Amino acid sequence: MSGLYRKILCLFLFSSSLAMASEPNFQFRAQDNSQEIFVEKCKMWLLALEQNDREQLLGFFDPQAVEQHSQALEALLDDMVSRQQRITSTTGLISRQVALSKPGVTAEHIANVNVDYTFENGHIGISCGFERKDSGNWQLIP
């Protein structure tokens, strides 16, 4: 019975991760600001910054804004990519912990994911913020 239980659990987790992956990065759905999707979106955002994946990064923004403000957006992304690459290339990285802010800590229309990097010689904390728009969908606050 435990083997069947594990298979069902694995199938559920796999299908849940596929559902999150199929959500758009701009204007995605979440029931409230305590959903696990914010952690997944933050991880995707940070990985795209670390890899300088412009297609993935631009997917977090309004397509009209990307078209209208491409130069300013590219400059912003250049700075963000440089900062994230400096953090992750620092020698002595021991761990990276990612956690969603506790419910009640932030306003209902804001979700915040805290990312703590621990190094041999110190600690760096950054965060990913998301805002619920009037449509009820969520987007990254760069």
Please name each of the domains of the chain with its CATH number: 2-141 (3.10.450.50)
Please give the structure tokens belonging to residue 21: 């992956």
> Residue 122 and residue 59: Cα distance in Å, rounded?
33
Q: What angle do CA 52, 58, 111 make, to 5 degrees?
A: 100
Task: Please give the sequence-ordered ranges of beta strands (E in DSSP) within the chain, or none if there are none.
Answer: 93-100, 110-119, 122-132, 138-141
CB neighbours of residue 12 within 10 Å:
10
Residue-wise pLDDT for 102-139, tens only, equals 877 779 999 999 999 999 989 999 999 999 999 999 99
Is-above-0.85 flag for pTM? no
Residue-wise pLDDT for 17-65, tens only, equals 444 456 899 999 999 999 999 999 999 999 999 999 999 999 999 999 9
